[in-house]
Amino acid sequence: MDVAILTFDGFNEIDTFLTFNILNRIKDSKFNVKITSPSKMITSMNGVSIEGQRDIDFANNADVVLFGSGVHTREIIKDKTFLSQLSLNADKQLIAGQCSGVLFMAELGLLNGLAVSTDLSSKQRLEEIGVEVLNQPFTATGNIATAGGCLSSQYMAAWVIANKLGNAAAEYAMGRVAPTGEQEKTVAHCLSVIEAFINT
Amino acid sequence: MDVAILTFDGFNEIDTFLTFNILNRIKDSKFNVKITSPSKMITSMNGVSIEGQRDIDFANNADVVLFGSGVHTREIIKDKTFLSQLSLNADKQLIAGQCSGVLFMAELGLLNGLAVSTDLSSKQRLEEIGVEVLNQPFTATGNIATAGGCLSSQYMAAWVIANKLGNAAAEYAMGRVAPTGEQEKTVAHCLSVIEAFINT
């Protein structure tokens, strides 16, 4: 399964790489997780430059599309030429966004009246455009998920794994990244956050 | 204050970037946090190439030196020519390592009989060379800290901030990255893990 982590200049390093690493815990090539970006090199919100691995078209054909957050999201979503390159389909794809990544989903018409999770600064903007914002780290309806707060990346990643491969796979991946001595508690809490939102 | 996050080919994305992002929550230029690497481009354990920001000599003069983990650590620590470029001083620098990053600290003679936190695979190797391994996410004595499990990066980062700028600064930084609706619990737990180990 192809997983596109959409990553733009100004991206939040936790959103992109915590998700990326957790999804890559699934071995046997079940997931093909790629940093997906509009240019070959992209620079993070704190100034680290990285190489993108796939271009935007990869997202249009991926099984899973994830929008992390970033400090330039509000400018990027005004670029209609760029946005027109994205042709996503929530009937066929899992689509999730985190913090300001939720603004992309609103702009692309993917929310359809759903209430969302996001961070404090994106909350204000989303409420201005009529989106209901919940005070919880994660929510999903069907194939559309949203999360708020950088460390909620773990919930987004676990939700993707649980939906595609089952809860046991999500528990395995989370156990591999949990703090030493806190594995059981970390896995149980993560699953408790996402369990109401797993498609069965 | 200069903070060197030592990052090598095969690096774990969570260890490097979770720490990097949390430390960068401290504004007003109090921290100058840089990805520090032996070559201009380095490639992560899951195949993402990034640009290093400083060369190894930056670590020798930094106020804080952090060793993340990686899949090539065991080969890198055999390279005596490379290791001889590192000249660290625990009397003047905070030095911390995570998972296989603790192997660097052992090889460089920085542990001095201290018990450590690490991950399961590094545990075996450290015990073989006579290092006591604790079943807890984080431990420190004086200026030397160790952590185990990728998500313990947050504890390492918070310990650095608390030591240099006080607990309130660590609480601020952790609150900025915590999941929405879980800020209070996340901050309190993080501080409870590190509070016994903060230099006063």
CA distances from B182 to A28, A140, A193, B175, B187 (A): 34, 18, 11, 9, 9
Average pLDDT estimate for B149-178:
97
For residue B94, list its beta bridge partners: B64
pLDDT score recorded for residue B30? 86
**DSSP-assigned letters across all residues of A34-93:** EEE-SSSEEEBTTS-EEE-SB-THHHHT-SEEEE--BTTHHHHTT-HHHHTT----TTTS
pLDDT in tens, A67-100: 999 999 999 999 999 999 999 999 999 999 999 9
> Is residue B28's pLDDT more than 90?
no
B97, B105 Cβ separation under 8 angstroms: yes
> Is residue B200's pLDDT more than 80?
no
CA distance A89 to chain B (A): 27
Average pLDDT estimate for A96-114:
97
How far apart are alpha carbons B109 and B103 in whole angstroms? 10
Residue of A12, A24, A117 with shortest CB distance to B180 = A117
CA distance B173 to chain A (A): 12
Residue of A nearest to B177 (CA): A150
Burial B177-195 (b: 16+ CB within 10 A, else e): bbbbbbbeebbebbbebbe
pLDDT score recorded for residue B199? 85
Beta carbons within 10 angstroms of residue B148's beta carbon:
32
Average pLDDT estimate for A2-19:
98
Phi-psi region of A166 (alpha: psi -120 to 50; beta: other; left: phi over 0): left
pLDDT score recorded for residue A29? 74
pLDDT in tens, A117-135: 999 999 999 999 999 999 9
Residue of B nearest to A133 (CA): B180
Residue of B50, B135, B179 with shortest CB distance to A137 = B179
**Are the Cβ atoms of B18 and A20 closer than 8 angstroms?**
no
**Are the Cβ atoms of B178 and A147 closer than 8 angstroms?**
no
Query: Which residues of A fall within a CB distance of 8 Å from B47?
Result: 53
pLDDT score recorded for residue B168? 96
pLDDT score recorded for residue A150? 97
Average pLDDT estimate for B134-142:
97
Interface test with B, best of A11, A22, A48 (most B CBs within 10 A): A48
Residues 18-47 (B) with a CB less than 8 A from some CB of A: 18, 20-21, 24, 33, 35, 45-47
pLDDT in tens, B50-68: 999 999 999 999 999 999 9
B196, B158 Cβ separation under 8 angstroms: no
Classify A10 as helix, strand or coil: coil
pLDDT score recorded for residue A159? 98
B123-129, long-range: CB within 8 Å, 24+ apart, which pairs?
B123/B148, B125/B74, B126/B102
Q: Return the structure tokens found at A53.
A: 């691995």
How far apart are alpha carbons B1 and B142 in whole angstroms? 18
Residue of B nearest to A40 (CA): B49
Phi-psi region of B181 (alpha: psi -120 to 50; beta: other; left: phi over 0): left
pLDDT band at A160 (very low <50, low <70, confident <90, very high): very high
Average pLDDT, chain A: 96
> Is residue B154's pLDDT more than 90?
yes
Residue of B nearest to A48 (CA): B51
Strand-strand pairing, A64-67 and B94-98: unpaired
Average pLDDT estimate for A187-191:
98
Query: Which residues of B fall within a CB distance of 8 Å from A18?
Result: 13-14, 17-18
Amino acid at B140: A
Domains recognised in chain A with CATH numbers:
2-197 (3.40.50.880)
pLDDT score recorded for residue B63? 98
Q: Does B115 touch chain A (CB under 8 A)?
A: no
Q: What is the pTM of this model?
A: 0.97
> Is residue A61's pLDDT more than 80?
yes
Average pLDDT, chain B: 96
Of A144, A123, A127, A126, whose CA–CA distance to A135 is shortest? A123
pLDDT in tens, A26-58: 987 789 999 999 999 999 999 999 999 999 999
ipTM exceeds 0.95: yes
Residue of A24, A49, A150 with shortest CB distance to B50 = A49
The arrangement of strands across the sheet holding A49-51 comes to: A41-43, A49-51, B49-51, B41-43
> Is residue B10's pLDDT more than 80?
yes
What percent of chain A has a predicted confidence (pLDDT) above 70? 100
Cα angle for residues A22, B4, B185 (degrees, 5° grid): 50
